Amino acid sequence: MAVERITALWALSEAALGGILHALNLPFKGMLISGGAITFISLIGVISEKKGSILKATFIVLAIKYLISPYTPVTAAIAVLLQGLLGELFFSTRKFQLILIPLFAVIVELLTGLQKILIVTIIFGSNFWNIIDKFSKSLAMNFFSVDMPGVSIYIISIYLAIHILFGIFISMIILRLPKNFNEIKKYVSLESHIYEDPVVNIHHTKKSLGKPSIIMMVILFVLLFSAPFIFPGIRSFDSINIVLIILRAVLILLIWFFVISPLLQNLFKKLLSRKTNKYFKNIDDINSRLPAIKNIVITAWKESAIKSLIKRIKYFITLLIYFTLSLPENNIEHDVK
């Protein structure tokens, strides 16, 4: 039953966490969502003794994700599938967990960061980074008289470093869970906390074009066009190249949204349909647990409010897993009914 509960947490995280983070306007949403996947995949790998458990949980999570969030982008679904496949590979052995968990966490977070950079490069082309380098060099020369190297490599490096550090941070939380459980047992009463809050209904709508990343891109291009007028002394950039980059981006996005994405969605849904039929009972069982799991998430988040940000994340994850694994089965059934 522990694997089913962790799978339910993972499904809820994939289906609802993105919407919550979007509503809160938090940065690095992909990093945080993949952090949840790392935690739940690692726990399934540690708890389950059956081979294929992670892959099975992955298809169940994807089925519930599409059930709750029908407008899930195919890229997000592919990311979940890739994480599940990597998890199945890493945890095919129960040995070396002290090494495998941090390594798995770092690789998943690194791939998450690389995916974003790759998408930007595909849409805007390598010229995008060249223009950023030229712009930063021009700023440095005109305002500080410094001939500095391009900043694009630093932007990419810092962005990936943040993902790697977060992967290490998540892995340390996972490895410390048994010790933290023992500490929590001393002063946290499950029965006195778990039913204090009502279930929160999460509404899902189509994603708008007002994503922070898109807004930032628009601001950047406007800045590049207007730089010579805003900052006297900065030479005018090659406007033709900027126009070509924008036209390239529009063309690629149109091809993606109207040709490639629908095709991949159909292929992916056919694959998922076969797995849904195979795991129908498991999907139905885990889906029925979601109301109780939602209550656990709300309770754990409010209970961790007394901590500072970093400590709150650690405490929240620990409480979340502890409550989920400790809640008696009859309480879950009662809460669902």
Tokens of 282: 């498991």
Instruction: Please give the pLDDT value at position 201.
Output: 43
Query: Which residue is listed with tokens 């709750």?
Result: 68
Residue 217 inside a domain? The answer is no
Tokens of 286: 């885990």
pLDDT at 27: 66
Q: How far apart are CA 282 and CA 275, in angstroms?
A: 11
Report if residue 15 sits inside a domain. Answer: yes
Both structure tokens of 166: 């977060």
CA Rg value for the chain: 23
The identity of residue 56, as a single letter, is K
In a domain, 79, yes or no: yes
Torsion over CA: 325, 328, 331, 337 (sign): positive
pTM of the model: 0.83
Is 161 within a domain?
A: yes
Predicted confidence at residue 137, as pLDDT, reads: 79
Q: Report the pLDDT value the prediction gives residue 19, as an integer from 0 to 100.
A: 59
Banded model confidence at residue 140, pLDDT cuts 50, 70, 90: confident
Mean pLDDT, the chain, rounded, equals 80
Q: Is residue 31 part of a domain?
A: yes
pLDDT tens by residue, 172-191: 999 999 888 877 776 565 55
Q: Residue 102's pLDDT is what?
A: 96
pLDDT band at 157 (very low <50, low <70, confident <90, very high): very high
Is residue 273, in this structure, part of any structural domain at all? yes
- For residue 237, what pLDDT is reported? 57
pLDDT band at 36 (very low <50, low <70, confident <90, very high): very high
In a domain, 66, yes or no: yes
- Domain hosting residue 18, numbered range: 2-136+146-207+265-336
Structure tokens at 52: 């294929």
Predicted confidence (pLDDT) per residue in 287-304, tens digit: 888 888 888 888 888 888
pLDDT confidence bin for 212, thresholds 50/70/90: low
Q: CA nearest 3: which of 75, 61, 69, 66? A: 61
Provide the total of helices (H) and of strands (E) in the chain, helices listed first.
Answer: 16, 0
Amino acid at 189: S
Asked whether 175 and 121 are in contact (CB, 8 A), the reply is no
Q: What is the pLDDT of residue 328?
A: 65
Tell me the per-residue pLDDT of 71-98, one tens digit each, with 9 for 90 and over: 788 888 999 999 999 999 999 887 888 8
Of 103-107, 144-148, 215-219, the range with the lowest mean pLDDT is 215-219
Q: Is the pLDDT of residue 202 over 60?
A: no
| Coil/strand/helix, residue 110 | helix
Q: What is the pLDDT of residues 2-12, one digit of tens each?
A: 899 999 999 98
Least Cα distance to 324 among 293, 286, 287, 282 occurs for: 293
Q: What pLDDT, in 10s, does the model give residues 93-118?
A: 878 888 999 999 999 999 999 998 99
Residue 102 covered by a domain: yes
Look at the chain and report how many structural domains it folds into. 1
Sign of CA dihedral 216, 202, 42, 319: positive
Percent residues over pLDDT 90 in the chain: 32
Burial class (CB in 10 A: 0-12, 13-18, 19+), 230: exposed
Q: Is 50 left (phi over 0), alpha (psi -120 to 50) or beta?
A: beta
Residue 60 has pLDDT above 90, yes or no: yes
Looking at residue 16, what is its pLDDT? Answer: 76
Q: Which of 24-33, 51-60, 219-228, 244-253 has the highest mean pLDDT?
A: 51-60
Q: Strand, helix or coil at 154?
A: helix
Query: Average pLDDT for residues 242-250, to the nearest whole number?
Result: 82
